[in-house]
Amino acid sequence: MSRSRRYFYDCVNQPGGSCGNAMVGCSDDEFVQLTKIKSAPHERLSRALPGKAKLPVSPVQMLAGRECNYSGRGRFSLSDSCHVLSRYLPIHGPSVIDKMKSSAYVSQFSNDGSLFVAGFQESHIRIYNVDMGWKIHKDIRARSLRWTITDTSLSPDRRFLVYSSISPIVHIVDVGSSTKESHANVTEIHEGLEFSSNVDDYEDYSFGIFSVKFSTDGREIVAASSDEAIYVYDLDSRRLSLRIPAHKSDVNAVCFADESGHIIYSGSDDHLCKVWDRRCFVTRGQAAGVLMGHLEGITFIDTRGDGRYFISNGKDQSIKLWDIRKMSSNVNYTPRRRYAEWDYRWMEYPEEARNMRLPDDLSLATYKGHSVLRTLIRCYFSPAYSTGQKYIYTGSTDSSVYVYDVVSGGQVAKLDFHEDPVRDCNWHPFYPMMVSSSWDGMLASWEFPGNGENPPLMKRARRRRRFFY
């Protein structure tokens, strides 16, 4: 039994089903009920079966109930399926998908899970065909790179990829072309989308872009930048349509809240998450609301997709869950730094600050156990289709992947394999499969059930510590 698998079984067998520090979890009744509806078995099924009506209902009982048509549907509902599938976490393995000479910074599955994109520090982006045994679909050499690939985003139709760096230029590549080797402006055109009208030369840049995301309809991209602003780019007209003076420090994370594209979430080094309604006064930097609670800067944001809830990862070593209906209208709130000399890129987080809480904390829940140092660690909700989004998961500076129960706050799994920080990790939208991407250059696939074997021992290499983003 592998270390990660053994850890999971030890955790779930403990009282309360959690490991590590005791967590209060989410006490918001509405959120708890919504999560339960998405991942609980049919009420008649749990009541009608012999024995005590308790959760979780075993897969054997679920199958027996389906055959007896206790639900009256003759089949599993989506929540029934999530109740079964969410018990089988992708914690076995891992198997190494690829090993590069430079650090892996970003990665993502396509919305249908058929493609997987990974961006590496040394100008390299690879797109893998998941359905064909991780065969390389596209090998991209990035253009005009500054330090690293900071983010990538695949269009909803999987035709185009945008990638960003520490410059005001976002490049777009035709992923659907027949060319496998894509060298910028040699074998293919990597069109540059300019986010600054003051740039005459790629070498002359005034700010960098840390996060970039496609809209659901694929017509726009939103970007977060180091000049304290959010940008929206219209791909149909090939022009910048909106600039929002959003924060008082670097904006590290941004995303559209839902399919409408009207609401935008952002997170910054000024410790604040903000909500922007494009139908209101965003050009004047007036946010629809502010969400306070993090004691340090925000590294990443992920939306639940319902226009209401999202999570954020923070340099205060915590993930927070937010409900935008609880946001504050006090847009002039300016948090002060408690540790002015502390730098997360090369210093450990002060031990006395780990249990501190902001008096005006507006978050619904806080999740702790992982480490957010050295780089902008990312976090996500688990897939809606297979888990009902009942988990959240994150990379960590301690080279692991952590999975938390979103309601109880308990840590249900810790995946150990890598030798360097895991900056990004991604759960397949439909299958019990997760891919972790690390600064050790490896992409590792975790699955259920897997082959039950321990991963091969890797020789630890002495690596130079990195200080940026």
Task: Kindly state whether residue 38 falls inside one of the protein's structural domains.
Answer: no
Task: Kindly state whether residue 460 falls inside one of the protein's structural domains.
Answer: no
Nearest to 375 by CA among 301, 468, 307: 468
pLDDT score recorded for residue 7: 40
Beta carbons within 10 angstroms of residue 453's beta carbon:
11
Amino acid letter at 34? L
Q: For the chain, how many helices (H) and strands (E)?
A: 6, 29
Regarding beta strands 181-183 and 135-141, do their DSSP bridges make them parallel or antiparallel, or are they unpaired?
Answer: parallel
Task: Kindly state whether residue 39 falls inside one of the protein's structural domains.
Answer: no
Tell the burial category of 445 from Cβ atoms under 10 Å away from its Cβ (0-12, 13-18, 19+). Answer: buried
CATH of the domain at 154: 2.130.10.10
Helix axes 29-39, 78-85, angle to 10 degrees: 90
Cα separation, 344 vs 316, in Å, equals 9
Task: Kindly state whether residue 110 falls inside one of the protein's structural domains.
Answer: yes
Helix axes 59-68, 78-85, angle to 10 degrees: 150
pLDDT score recorded for residue 229: 96
Task: Kindly state whether residue 424 falls inside one of the protein's structural domains.
Answer: yes
Q: Which residues pair with 309 in a beta bridge?
A: 323
3-state SS, residue 276:
strand
Task: Kindly state whether residue 313 falls inside one of the protein's structural domains.
Answer: yes
Q: What angle do CA 30, 33, 38 make, to 5 degrees?
A: 130
Q: Going along 218-353, which residue ranges are E strands? A: 220-225, 229-234, 239-245, 251-256, 263-268, 273-277, 289-291, 298-303, 309-314, 318-323
Cα separation, 175 vs 165, in Å, equals 19
What is the residue range of 185's domain? 3-29+93-447
Task: Kindly state whether residue 83 falls inside one of the protein's structural domains.
Answer: no
Residue identified by tokens 């990829």 is 161
Ranges of residues in the chain whose predicted pLDDT is under 50? 1-23, 48, 199, 201-202, 452, 454-462, 464-467
Tokens of 254: 């941004």
Q: What angle do CA 132, 87, 133 make, to 5 degrees?
A: 10
Domains of the chain: total: 1
Cα separation, 49 vs 47, in Å, equals 6
pLDDT score recorded for residue 49: 52
pLDDT score recorded for residue 85: 87
Q: What angle do CA 345, 346, 349 make, to 5 degrees?
A: 85
Cα separation, 294 vs 211, in Å, equals 19
Task: Kindly state whether residue 433 falls inside one of the protein's structural domains.
Answer: yes
Give the pLDDT confidence of 71-117 residue by residue, as tens digits. 666 778 888 888 888 889 999 989 999 999 999 999 999 999 999 99
Please list the alpha-helical segments (H only) found in 49-131: 59-68, 78-85
